[in-house]
Structures are given as C-alpha cells and as structure tokens.
Amino acid sequence: MRDLHLPRTLPDPWRSPLRGPRFTAVLGLVLLAGMPLLFVTGLLSYAAYNPNLAAVNDKTPDKGLLGFYLFSWPTDPHWLYRLTQGLHVTVGVVLVPVLLAKLWSVVPKLFTLPPVRSLGHALERLSLLLLVGGALFEFVTGILNVQLDYLFPGSFYPLHFYGAWVFISAFAVHAVLRVPQALRVLRERKAGVAETGDLVPAQPAEPTVSRRGALAMVGAGSLLLLVTTAGQSIGGVWRRTALLAPHGGEDPGTGSDRFQINKTAAVAGVRAADAGAPWRLVVTGPSGTVHRLTRADLLQLPQHTASLPIACVEGWSTDDRRWSGVRLRDLAVLAGTDGDTDVFVESLQQHGAFRKAALRHNQVHDPRSLLALRVDGADLTLDHGYPARIIVPAAPGVLNTKWVARLTFGALR
Ligand SMILES: Nc1nc2c(c(=O)[nH]1)N[C@H]1C(S)=C(S)[C@@H](COP(=O)(O)O)O[C@H]1N2
Ligand SMILES: [Mo]
C-alpha cells in the first residue's frame, strides 16, 4: 500500500527493530494498570473540594452529569487526601517515560498513508487523536500545575477535569479494541510464533539495544522519577530525596514555620499590619448573631490540639503537625447553631483564587477541625496564616484557608 504512494527511493523512516506489536503490548499493559488509577484518584481529588457544597469550591460549574459520582468528602482517615493526591501526582510523573515510549512505539501508525481508508478507519484515527491528544494534554497540564505552582489558577481545574473525561473515554474504547490483541501477541511470543503486523519495520535497521534493554531503560527512567518525586508525599526522611518536587526537597526542619509555604503573605498581598492589632474574627450565624473576636478572645476559648497534615493538590504534603486553637464546632455553637452545620470561610486576603472556601457540616463537626492559632507549640507565623487559619482532617490544602477574617455558619444548601 505504502509503495503506491511513496517513491521507492524514499527511505523508510521507521526502521527501529524495537518496534513491533509485542513491545507496544508490554507498554500498553503497564498503562492499562496506571491510567485508571490516575483517573480515579483525579476524580477523588475533585470530590475532595466538595464542589457541590458551594459555588466557591467549584471550578467546573457546568460539569452536569460528569459530577454524578460526587459525595461528601469524609474526615477519616485524616491522611486520606495526602494518600489519594500523593498517588495521583506520583503515578502521573512515574508514567511519563512509559507514555513516551508507548507513543514512540506506535508513531509510524500516526503517519500511515493514505490518511483515511474508510469510514471505520477515519473513526479509529479520530479516537486515536483524542487518545494521544488527551493523554499529552493531561500530562502537560498536570505537570505544569505542579511545577509552576498554579500557573493557571482557576482555569487549570476545568482544563484538567474535562480533558480527563475526553481522555478516559478514548482510553476505554482503545482498551476494549486493543487489550485482546495485546494479550494475544504476548501469548504468541511464548509459543514462539514469529511477530507480524504493521508495527514490524519493513526494513529493520541493525539493533543498538535489545527490547529487553529498551524496556529496562524505560523502567529505570520511571524508577528515577519515583525516587525523586515520591518523598514529597511520603514525608519523613524521604522528603530529602524529592529533588524534582518544587515543595518537596530537603525537609525544611522542625519548628513552627519550618514547613512548606504555598503562598507567602507577601505574594498573597497580606500585610502584617492587617493581621495585627486591628484584626477581628467576625463570626456570624443563621439567625444573624455577630461576634467580633480578637486573638486574645480566641485564646480564652477552650483550646484543642490535633495532629494533621497539609496536603496540596500539587502532590506535596507535610507530615502531621500539632495544630492548636479553637474547634470549628465550638465556634459554630457560639454562632447559635448545633455545631453540625456548614461554614463559609473568608480570608482577609483581598485578591487571589484561594481566599474563600466552604466546609461541609461533617468537617465543621469533627473535633479535630480547628481554627488554628498555633502550630508545633508556637504562634502561627504570618506566612502560615497568622493570626488564624483553618485546619481540617483529610481535606485538600486549598480548604485550609489562611489569615481567616470571617466565618459564616449555616446551611449552604
Ligand atoms: N488565604 C489563603 N489561604 C490559603 C491559600 C491561599 O492562597 N490563600 N492557599 C491554600 C493552599 S492551596 C494550600 S496547599 C495551603 C498551604 O498552606 P501553607 O502555606 O501553610 O503550607 O494553604 C491554603 N490556604
Ligand atoms: Mo494547595
């Protein structure tokens, strides 16, 4: 077929003897295991924001039926989001070499001539475009968001969310069509049958590496990414190995301010003067009661301590730190509720995407959920949210609002 359209003198550019359906099948089966894990942990990450609770939490309000699976994000175990998002980011990074090798292994197919042979062929090529385009899009947006620290706050979420649905649909079609074939070609290898098919190069070049060697290189690449990434989520001594992670790296040490800062007060435009003497926490309830509390007032209320991590959507998390302050449910009761109600949290920060958040009643009710005033035995520093910040078990970091100025208790829906 190809010879009809290309002059005979044109060299066949796809001559690597590594290519063939078996090489592609091995890489494909690794992705078959990894991609669904990425997808599921990604869906969980979206659910963890409690997007159905309030518009401030929802970056994709037009999701329609795609939100069918949403549920109230629990507060147990307290490391839940640390685990699910750590997995999401780590698995995503680790699969990069496998994805690239897989695309390389099938690249001749993307250039077959004629481009379309029949309606069926056209549909197959369209689905491949969505598959390859979707995969590249998801990996690029995800990695940019992690590495460049909210390159596109707000818009990242819809891009990555809708992109994921496009990708997984094409992936499901592809898996149904191709997995049986992948298993068959691997069985045939065991049986000693010669390899055939259009991925086998017509004029193979001399091998410079064996297939086994090539797969080992892909595996070594993934392993290297694993050990330079996972430490940001595992924490402890492993934090030191997370060389690739922008907020991982060397453990910043012990002490109240010696852990990751997502956005400093300076970057958020929060001035020490506003967080100092004139600061009041405004607490309101459904019946319109208003309390204005100084930090000294808050320190007069019963103080509680909870050991909780901060776990960011970017994949990094802190080890459990000892936060202390006032229980959210005590403040909810002060506001005239039964302590089991939603809350709308506002920061004194004036600009930026993460200065407001809504928490669900189960999060307010949990005795470990605090308006924290201190961490690890010292007052919060300004960069970590002084005079007061939210800390909630199992919640994504974005819900742990810093520099809290106002709490509005009452059912949000
Ligand atoms: N007011 C305000 N609170 C905020 C943010 C912010 O930008 N502004 N960032 C959130 C995000 S995304 C994370 S991961 C945590 C990080 O907390 P840390 O900076 O103390 O580590 O704070 C959260 N609270
Ligand atoms: Mo975050």
Least Cα distance to 256 among 325, 315, 303 occurs for 325
| Ligand closest to CA 269 | 1
The ligand 1 atom nearest the CA atom of 312: 14
Q: Is 368 in the pocket of ligand 1 (CB under 6 A)?
A: no
> What is the mean predicted confidence (pLDDT) over 48-54?
96
- Residue-averaged pLDDT of the chain: 91
Q: How far is CA 39 from the centre of its chain?
A: 10
Predicted confidence (pLDDT) per residue in 76-124, tens digit:
999 999 999 999 999 999 999 999 999 999 998 888 778 888 998 888 8
Gap from CA of 341 to ligand 1 centroid (Å) = 23
Gap from CA of 355 to ligand 1 centroid (Å) = 8
Q: Is 133 in the pocket of ligand 1 (CB under 6 A)?
A: no
Alpha-carbon gap, residue 387 to 409, rounded angstroms: 20
| pLDDT score of 247 | 72
Listed in sequence order, the residues at least 6 apart from 179 whose beta carbon sits closer than 8 Å to its beta carbon are 28, 29, 32
Alpha-carbon gap, residue 105 to 172, rounded angstroms: 20
| pLDDT score of 6 | 52
CA-nearest residue, atom 18 of ligand 1:
261
Least Cα distance to 372 among 286, 315, 301 occurs for 301
| pLDDT score of 239 | 84
Report the CATH architecture of 255-409.
Alpha-Beta Complex (3.90)
| pLDDT score of 151 | 65
| Ligand closest to CA 401 | 1
CA-nearest residue, atom 11 of ligand 1:
398
pLDDT band at residue 249 under the 50/70/90 scheme: low
Query: Which residue out of 89, 146, 263 has the highest number of ligand 1 atoms within 8 Å of its CB and is therefore the one to mutate?
Result: 263
| pLDDT score of 404 | 98
| Ligand closest to CA 351 | 1
Give the residue extent of every domain in the chain. Answer: 21-241, 255-409
Gap from CA of 253 to ligand 2 centroid (Å) = 20
| pLDDT score of 238 | 85
Q: Is 326 in the pocket of ligand 1 (CB under 6 A)?
A: no
| pLDDT score of 310 | 95
Predicted confidence (pLDDT) per residue in 34-47, tens digit:
999 999 999 999 99
Tell whether the model's pLDDT for residue 150 goes beyond 70.
Answer: no
Tell whether the model's pLDDT for residue 132 goes beyond 60.
Answer: yes
Gap from CA of 52 to ligand 2 centroid (Å) = 19
| pLDDT score of 236 | 84
Q: Is 392 in the pocket of ligand 1 (CB under 6 A)?
A: no
Q: Residues of the chain with pLDDT > 70: what percent? A: 93
Q: Is 317 in the pocket of ligand 1 (CB under 6 A)?
A: no
What's the pTM? 0.93
